[in-house]
Structure 1
Amino acid sequence: MLLGCIGDDFTGSSDLANTLTKAGMRTVQYVGVPDAPADTGVEAGVVALKSRSIPVAEAVAHALAALEWLRAQGCQQILFKYCSTFDSTPEGNIGPVAEALADALDARQVIFCPAFPGAGRTVYQGHLFVKDRLLSESGLQHHPLTPMTDPDIRRWLGAQVRGTVGHLDAQIVRQGPEAIKAALAAQEHRLIVADAVSDADLVALGHVAAESPLITGGSGIAMGLPDNFRARGQLAGKAGAWHGQSGPVVVLSGSCSEATRGQVARHATAHPAREISAADVMAGRVAAEDLADWAAAQEGIAMIYSSADPARVAQDQAQFGAVAVAGAIEALFAALARALVARGVTRLVTAGGETSGAVVEALGLKELEIGPEIAPGVPVIRAGHDLVLALKSGNFGGPDFFVEAAQRMETST
């Protein structure tokens, strides 16, 4: 294994695995830290953790355990992948995990770049934009677990770490690798937030990081990394065959992002849809077996969702507690996923990092094969002989994503 990756949630990890697969690396996504060695043909391993919203100390411990396994596989470089909207709190977990990894790897400088221009995420003058809006005005300020109220990634990261945070501005980045190297050499800071407004910027940053033991960012930061291994003649250049999957399909949406709520509303106009409210879940008025029976009886692409607007989410959190509500809904989706698969569902589409993580863990999945791309950052994933998944981050995909995902799951190219 050449490149070892640690993702802080399951949707983001599949996004990263998709990027590396498209760039020509034989990539496998692992669910949690494996308990056995990787296959010798794997060139990039992505260890998907569910650590974005857990206590800082636990997130650090999980990341270091993943690092230990990846180093045992012979990895020459480590990539810590987090969300392209830098989802975190002022306490962490991005900064503390990155610093712990840097200490373990004795990394002198570490680049931070969440940019993903293909999905509308760019970093300019240290500020994160979602399309034409600052992060704090994009709807992410209402995230139920990690509200992003400050678009200045330097300031947000600085609140989480012990060290100081530097900046690599867009004018330098667009000049290419040599200018970037010179600017980094002049920096006294260990942690460097890098601007990136195009894929070319990300590729240049990746090329500069060829000898860096650690790099961090969204999936876009990985665009230039395969070239480094290819230039050394280390890539086999072989891709596995992919075959599509037919059969019943169900959508499970727990994301409350603005994009997902729009996708849910659009899908519900033409397909069977059933909403589950936090109040009903907390009162025990909904059961996974009943919901699975309902979905199995529907024609077309049935959808079960808890996606709600920010005002309603805030009301539910005030009444029941944010952690309690999130835990109860995740537990319901987990049980529902098991029930659906038991009834013969072969295609599952999930929306939301926490929802996706709950589903993947509930199904006891260990290794995931990366298939064709549905939308930027979202591939089809094979989880077994007759089960495929689409794990969508909340803000990814177009208005008809759920239909597009169901169709893409059936294709063999």
Structure 2
Amino acid sequence: MCRGDDTAVVALADDLSGAAEAAALLRLPARLVLHTDDLGVSGAGGEAVVMDLDSRYLDDEAAADAVRAAVRAVRRSPAAVGARTDTDTAGSRAFRAVNSRESYGSPLWFKKCDSLLRGPVGAEAAAFAEGAEVLVIATALPAARRVVRGGVVLVDGVPLHECAAWRAEERVAPRSVAGALAPLPTADVPLESVRQGPIALAGRFRELAARGRHPVCDAETDTDLTVIAAAAALLGPGARLLGSGGLAAALGRRLAARRAHGSSTDAGPTAARPRATEPFATRPLLVVAGSAEPVVGEQVARLVAAGARHLPLAPGELAGPEGVVLPELATGTVTVLSVDGSDGVRPGAARAVVAGLARAVSAVPGRPDLVLTGGETARRVLDSLGITTLRPVGEIHHGAVHCRTDDGRSVVTRPGSFGGPDSFVRIAAALRPSQQGVTQ
């Protein structure tokens, strides 16, 4: 019998909010690391190590190299070296912890990609597939109304290349998942095949692998993704998984079920635990709204209406050489920073604006708890603060992941496009459960 409670998972993501999302959804005790030197498997079962590759805005070659470096770092870790045999390929131990007839110790590999296919997804997928027998791909995210039908991403029913989701990107939106993943050799797996069940689907995966193709799966529901994860687990140790947070959640459900079968008492981070934050509720709470998504403006407005202090910052000042100096934050207050885009942001200046925002936050006296929206913003802020490791506590709502730093500070990360209009209000309430509303 396989031991799901001994499963160790290594997950790679291209930005920090995606890495945090994956860490929470895998439902294992997790460590989120920001640098390759900290990436390794301890040998303890039932844990996940998740790395932010910080590759969303790298060119294809650099992004592929980042993936390869991460894989090498894990394979050099003592647990992986001790478990490896002379006949192993780079991907041959990926599912051994789930389907093991051998000793435990080698990880299950998962690559988190953006559900809107932004970033160098093709170059990263090709590098991640190196050495694996097959890479099972499912990029649908039903929770955000993003599905894959006929190999095409649909956002609220509109094909990705026809909607506004890529308005801030310099690249042209791909017309299909296969197009985004080029040069990786792929083949579409229609919804009808997915819904034949795990055994039949695994057979289809094997057929494609024998032809040197990696399956790109249609999916419209979480049940579809659960079937895909189950089928991949039947393939044996040569399989790896690549997909959105929806596939990470499906994998997490599978791992949690196996841990429950093994009588494990800790299923990992699944929901925020407000009581853990009570001793630190007197700290200032700083919300950094670094995303350009339209919904963020309404989220800021609702938090301000609830009593938060609002500091809109001009992009020109943030990107300028002198930067912005923020006022001191009083104990027990909630402050939200946003980039004032009323006059627009100069093309090509977005990264300089985010860097200026990070510098401003890092200079704030004290150690405020942080809410960081947008993966680029979150990563730059944590880099400026010298924070290299996070421990996920749970999700406050879908995509809003509550983590702890080594010094006990709360950090919530969230993709810019996630959450309803009340997202910031919900996050503030979860971090400050003893406060009635938000105070200035």
Q: Which TM-score band (shorter chain)?
A: 0.7 to 0.9
User: Are the equivalent residues in 2 in contact too, given 1:180–1:205 (CA < 8 A)?
Assistant: yes
Letter in 2 for 1:326: A
Distance in 1 of aligned mates of 2:22 and 2:393: 13
Distance in 1 of aligned mates of 2:117 and 2:39: 31
Check 1:83–1:411 CA distance in 2 against 1; reply closer, same or farther (3 A cut): farther
> Which one of 122, 135, 138 corresponds to residue 160 of structure 2?
135
Deviation at residue 197 of structure 1 after TM alignment: 0.8
- Once the two structures are superposed, residues 306-336 of structure 1 have per-residue CA deviations (whole angstroms, 9 ceiling, x without a partner) of 2637x924xx11xxxx1xx233222222222
Deviation at residue 50 of structure 1 after TM alignment: 0.7
Letter in 1 for 2:289: S
For the pair 1:108 / 2:133, whether they are aligned, the reply is yes
Letter in 2 for 1:122: V
Deviation at residue 404 of structure 1 after TM alignment: 1.0
For the pair 1:238 / 2:266, whether they are aligned, the reply is yes
User: Are the equivalent residues in 1 in contact too, given 2:33–2:39 (CA < 8 A)?
Assistant: no
Q: Give the percent of matched residue pairs that are identical in Structure 1 and Structure 2.
A: 25
User: What are structure 2's unaligned runs of at least 5 residues?
Assistant: 1-6, 81-105, 435-440
Distance in 1 of aligned mates of 2:371 and 2:432: 13
Compute the TM-score of the two structures, normalised by the length of structure 1: 0.84
The worse-fitting range, judged by mean Cα deviation, of 126-135 and 226-235 is: 226-235
> Which one of 269, 291, 309 corresponds to residue 272 of structure 1?
309
Distance in 1 of aligned mates of 2:371 and 2:128: 32
Compute the TM-score of the two structures, normalised by the length of structure 2: 0.79
Check 1:285–1:366 CA distance in 2 against 1; reply closer, same or farther (3 A cut): closer
Root mean square deviation, CA, Å:
2.8
Report 1:121-160 matches (<5 A): 121-145=146-170, 149-158=173-182
Check 1:230–1:65 CA distance in 2 against 1; reply closer, same or farther (3 A cut): farther
For the pair 1:351 / 2:378, whether they are aligned, the reply is no
Q: Could you say which residue in structure 2 is the equivalent of 1:14?
A: 20
User: Are the equivalent residues in 2 in contact too, given 1:140–1:148 (CA < 8 A)?
Assistant: no
Distance in 2 of aligned mates of 1:274 and 1:148: 34
Distance in 2 of aligned mates of 1:11 and 1:174: 31
Check 1:268–1:202 CA distance in 2 against 1; reply closer, same or farther (3 A cut): same
Check 1:193–1:262 CA distance in 2 against 1; reply closer, same or farther (3 A cut): farther
Letter in 1 for 2:290: G
3-state SS of 2:174 partner: coil
Distance in 2 of aligned mates of 1:221 and 1:200: 10
User: Are the equivalent residues in 1 in contact too, given 2:403–2:410 (CA < 8 A)?
Assistant: yes
- Once the two structures are superposed, residues 59-109 of structure 1 have per-residue CA deviations (whole angstroms, 9 ceiling, x without a partner) of 122211211222334333211111121112xxxx21112211211xx2232
Q: Could you say which residue in structure 2 is the equivalent of 1:28?
A: 31
The worse-fitting range, judged by mean Cα deviation, of 107-116 and 257-266 is: 257-266
Distance in 1 of aligned mates of 2:56 and 2:245: 15
Report 1:9-408 matches (<5 A): 9-21=15-27, 25-35=28-38, 38-41=41-44, 43-71=47-75, 72=77, 73-74=79-80, 75-88=106-119, 93-103=120-130, 106-145=131-170, 149-158=173-182, 161=183, 163-187=184-208, 188-210=211-233, 211=236, 212-226=238-252, 227=254, 231=258, 236-239=264-267, 243-244=276-277, 245-246=280-281, 247-270=283-306, 271-284=308-321, 286-287=323-324, 290-293=325-328, 296=329, 300-306=333-339, 308=341, 312-313=344-345, 316-317=346-347, 322=348, 325-340=349-364, 342-345=365-368, 347-408=369-430
User: Are the equivalent residues in 2 in contact too, given 1:87–1:148 (CA < 8 A)?
Assistant: no
User: Are the equivalent residues in 2 in contact too, given 1:373–1:380 (CA < 8 A)?
Assistant: yes
User: Are the equivalent residues in 1 in contact too, given 2:23–2:392 (CA < 8 A)?
Assistant: yes
The worse-fitting range, judged by mean Cα deviation, of 109-118 and 8-17 is: 109-118
> Could you list the runs of 4 or more consecutive aligned residues of structure 1 that deviate by over 6 angstroms after TM superposition?
232-235
Letter in 2 for 1:156: A
Distance in 1 of aligned mates of 2:192 and 2:226: 15
Structure number, greater radius of gyration: 2
User: Are the equivalent residues in 2 in contact too, given 1:19–1:219 (CA < 8 A)?
Assistant: yes
Distance in 1 of aligned mates of 2:201 and 2:153: 20
3-state SS of 2:36 partner: coil
Check 1:219–1:240 CA distance in 2 against 1; reply closer, same or farther (3 A cut): closer
3-state SS of 1:397 partner: coil
User: What are structure 1's unaligned runs of at least 5 residues?
Assistant: none
- Once the two structures are superposed, residues 358-385 of structure 1 have per-residue CA deviations (whole angstroms, 9 ceiling, x without a partner) of 0122222232111131111222111133
Check 1:236–1:64 CA distance in 2 against 1; reply closer, same or farther (3 A cut): farther
Distance in 2 of aligned mates of 1:298 and 1:136: 46
Deviation at residue 151 of structure 1 after TM alignment: 4.3
Distance in 2 of aligned mates of 1:268 and 1:230: 41
The worse-fitting range, judged by mean Cα deviation, of 258-267 and 214-223 is: 258-267
Deviation at residue 26 of structure 1 after TM alignment: 2.1
Distance in 1 of aligned mates of 2:263 and 2:313: 47
Deviation at residue 269 of structure 1 after TM alignment: 4.7
User: Are the equivalent residues in 1 in contact too, given 2:187–2:213 (CA < 8 A)?
Assistant: yes
